Amino acid sequence: MADSIMDGVRLLLITAGVAFFIIGSIGLIRFPDVYTRIHALTKADNLGLGLIVIGLLLGAGSLATSAKLVLIWLLTLVASASAGYLVARAARRRGVKPWQAKDTPPAKGDDTPPPQSGGH
């Protein structure tokens, strides 16, 4: 019985990790600018990989395997943070402005006027 509970926990963790990967990928497609896309990918993918690694650690047969899994996760965390920083820095140097809500065109059928800018 304990093995089936452990298998269920492992399955739950790995499934949650895969869900975070999918959510991060959707964020890459849906978010409006490079900065929010980087945020979606780095946060969701790091959490997703962490959940998957924890799920795999529960079934790891040896200390060496566990150490390798943790090392893979740590290296990925460093690489993801570094790549996100470099992409954001390159975008900033090229003058890419962060997205703001006023940049979005109104949705079809939306009769609300756009926000007014300027001092009144």
pLDDT at 105 over 70: no
Closest C-alpha to 92, from 29, 33, 45: 33
Structure tokens at 45: 């993918």
Render pLDDT for 30-81 as a digit per residue (tens, 0 to 9): 888 888 889 888 888 899 999 999 999 998 889 999 999 999 999 999 999 9
Q: Look up the pTM and report it.
A: 0.76
Name the band, by pLDDT with cuts 50, 70 and 90, for residue 3.
confident
User: Can you tell me the mean pLDDT for 1-28?
Assistant: 91
Alpha helices in the chain (DSSP H): 2-30, 34-57, 63-93
d(CA 56, CA 52): 6
